[in-house]
């Protein structure tokens, strides 16, 4: 009898194993990147806001660590400061180590991957970027824009619309069998200059009265290279209006993607990130473009949605482009195979400061010198300007609690009584400029 009972129990064990606990499903990942959109512009994208802001988290204090397209994009896709990924100029994309990237980590973990739109300024769009299964890239432009889609050259009547449609085509391809999660990077040209809005948005009016920094009459406290610029508030208002007009089309494209995700039943299983590679000056301090150590060039929109995993509301933490890769990898249940400098925004914890850094780049104007800056929100900003040997040629210090628009450089305001001790500030900045991993701000 005991032998028979043992046989029965063994048979039961073989045919009815104890169910294993199912691993949580890895989310799809959609990274939507705008070009030159600064904080405060997403009001021109009401449907994107209704999706991502109202069902996710907004980061009003998001920054980029280098206000220049390619270095910032390399930081987004690696989670590293530019002094570590070494893409310090627009033409330095060849230095990017693709094995230390978000796409490498996700592709290696079994994700299907696609890159759509603008990736890097100087990337050869005929070449498939490493660790992307599909690609549909452009070098820029709005009307009759050149794209290469999986090796085939094509023209896009309007770039923004084409990017939205191509994201949906890849999404459909990946969802046919739904066998693996996917990562789609979508880089819009908008709102980069020269802006060419769609005809239906070309006459929209966005009046603007400027801000204290566009009305800065005395720039004698600013470094010499800054004083050479003479952008007016009126010119800035025109640039702003052109940007907002083109962002209306981005809103259309994002809404088309949302509808496609909804139709496929993937809205709740997709981590969506909307941000920009850098900001833009609209005449603040007389400046145009970006590239300089003032907040209008560095503060960017950042919205993250993942229903059931990301809370709704506003997160006041100092977030950065460096945080995108570690955040996505954490959501996918992955540990980076290399050392990242950024933080996982899905976890608690905050940074108290951020390093921003820039190298001389002929593509951006050789007259803009190298610089590095320590930014401590609501407290201060300390900046050093360098020559090409690395010697300090000028310094800036702003008391952000009293001067959030960076109007008065206390080191050049004619009064020594309010000057901070630059020795400790310079030493701390020097450490930050060589930081790695958890030693980074």
Q: What would the 3-class secondary structure string for 355-402 be?
A: EEEECCCHHHCCCCCCEEEEEECCCEEEEEEECCCCCEEEEEEEECCC
Q: How do strand 182-187 and strand 152-158 relate by DSSP bridges?
A: unpaired
Residue-wise burial string across 244-276, b where 16 or more C-beta atoms lie within 10 A, e elsewhere: bbbbbbbbbbbbbbbebbeebebbebbbbbbbb
Mean pLDDT of 133-152: 98
> Would you place residue 6 in the very low, low, confident or very high pLDDT band (cuts 50, 70, 90)?
very low
pLDDT at 22 exceeding the cut of 80: no
> Would you place residue 172 in the very low, low, confident or very high pLDDT band (cuts 50, 70, 90)?
very high
pLDDT at 374 exceeding the cut of 70: yes
Q: Give the pLDDT of residue 86.
A: 98
Q: Give the pLDDT of residue 177.
A: 86
pLDDT-above-90 percentage for the chain: 93
Mean pLDDT of 139-164: 98
Q: Give the pLDDT of residue 24.
A: 52
The model carries a pTM of 0.94
CA distance 115 to 47: 23
Mean pLDDT of 115-141: 98
pLDDT at 14 exceeding the cut of 70: no
Mean pLDDT of 77-103: 98
Q: Do 406 and 380 meet the contact criterion of CB atoms below 8 Å apart?
A: no
Query: Domain 28-340, what fold?
Result: Alkaline Phosphatase, subunit A (3.40.720)
pLDDT at 156 exceeding the cut of 60: yes
Question: Per-domain residue ranges for the chain?
Answer: 28-340, 356-439
Q: Give the pLDDT of residue 25.
A: 82
Largest CA distance in the chain: 102
Q: Give the pLDDT of residue 21.
A: 33
Helices (H), 112-158: none
Please provide the average confidence, as pLDDT, over all residues in the chain.
Answer: 95
| Among 312, 336, 315, 266, residue whose Cα is nearest residue 84 | 336
pLDDT at 8 exceeding the cut of 90: no
Mean pLDDT of 246-256: 99
CA distance 144 to 167: 18
> Would you place residue 249 in the very low, low, confident or very high pLDDT band (cuts 50, 70, 90)?
very high
CA distance 116 to 320: 23
pLDDT at 4 exceeding the cut of 90: no
Q: Give the pLDDT of residue 16.
A: 32
Q: How do strand 152-158 and strand 134-138 relate by DSSP bridges?
A: unpaired
What tens digit of pLDDT does each residue of 46-84 get?
999 999 999 999 999 999 999 999 999 999 999 999 999
Looking up tokens 């990130």, which residue turns up? 273
Mean pLDDT of 294-307: 99
Q: Give the pLDDT of residue 178.
A: 82
Q: Do 296 and 284 meet the contact criterion of CB atoms below 8 Å apart?
A: yes
Which two three-digit tokens encode residue 406?
Answer: 């960076």
Which two three-digit tokens encode residue 97?
Answer: 């180590």
pLDDT at 1 exceeding the cut of 70: no
């Amino acid at each position: 009898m005991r032998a028979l009972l043992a046989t029965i129990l063994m048979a039961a064990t073989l045919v009815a194993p104890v169910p294993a606990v199912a691993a949580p499903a890895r989310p799809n990942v959609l990274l939507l990147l705008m070009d030159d959109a600064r904080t405060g512009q997403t009001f021109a994208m009401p449907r994107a806001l209704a999706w991502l802001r109202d069902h996710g988290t907004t980061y009003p204090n998001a920054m980029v660590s280098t206000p220049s397209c390619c270095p910032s994009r390399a930081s987004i896709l690696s989670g590293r400061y530019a002094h570590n990924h070494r893409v310090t100029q627009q033409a330095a994309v060849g230095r990017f180590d693709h094995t230390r990237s978000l796409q490498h980590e996700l592709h290696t973990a079994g994700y299907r991957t696609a890159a759509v739109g603008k990736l890097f300024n100087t990337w050869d769009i005929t070449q498939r970027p490493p660790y992307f299964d599909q690609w549909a890239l452009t070098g820029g432009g709005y009307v009759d824009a050149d794209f290469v889609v999986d090796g085939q050259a094509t023209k896009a009547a309007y770039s923004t619309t084409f990017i939205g449609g191509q994201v949906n085509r890849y999404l459909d391809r990946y969802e046919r069998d739904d066998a693996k999660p996917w990562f789609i990077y979508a880089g819009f040209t908008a709102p980069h200059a020269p802006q060419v809005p769609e005809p239906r948005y070309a006459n929209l009016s966005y009046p603007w009265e400027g801000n204290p920094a566009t009305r800065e009459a005395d720039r004698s406290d600013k470094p010499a290279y800054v004083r050479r610029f003479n952008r007016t508030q009126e010119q800035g208002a025109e640039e702003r209006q052109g940007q907002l007009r083109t962002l209306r089309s981005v809103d259309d494209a994002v809404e088309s993607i949302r509808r496609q995700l909804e139709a496929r039943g993937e809205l709740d299983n997709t981590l969506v990130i909307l941000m920009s590679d850098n900001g833009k000056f609209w005449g603040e301090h007389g400046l145009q473009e970006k590239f300089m150590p003032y907040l209008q060039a560095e503060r960017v929109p950042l919205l993250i949605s993942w229903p059931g995993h990301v809370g709704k509301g506003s997160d006041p933490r100092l977030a950065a482009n460096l945080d995108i890769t570690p955040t996505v990898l954490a959501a996918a249940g992955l540990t980076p195979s290399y050392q990242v400098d950024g933080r996982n925004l899905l976890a608690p914890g905050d940074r108290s400061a951020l390093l921003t850094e820039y190298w001389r780049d002929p593509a951006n104007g050789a007259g803009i010198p190298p610089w590095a800056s320590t930014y401590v929100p609501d407290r201060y900003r300390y900046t050093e300007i360098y020559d090409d040997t690395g010697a300090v040629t000028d310094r800036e210090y702003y008391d952000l609690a009293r001067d959030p628009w960076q109007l008065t450089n206390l080191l050049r305001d004619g009064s020594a009584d309010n000057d901070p001790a630059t020795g400790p500030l310079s030493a701390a900045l020097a450490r930050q400029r060589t930081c790695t991993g958890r030693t980074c701000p």
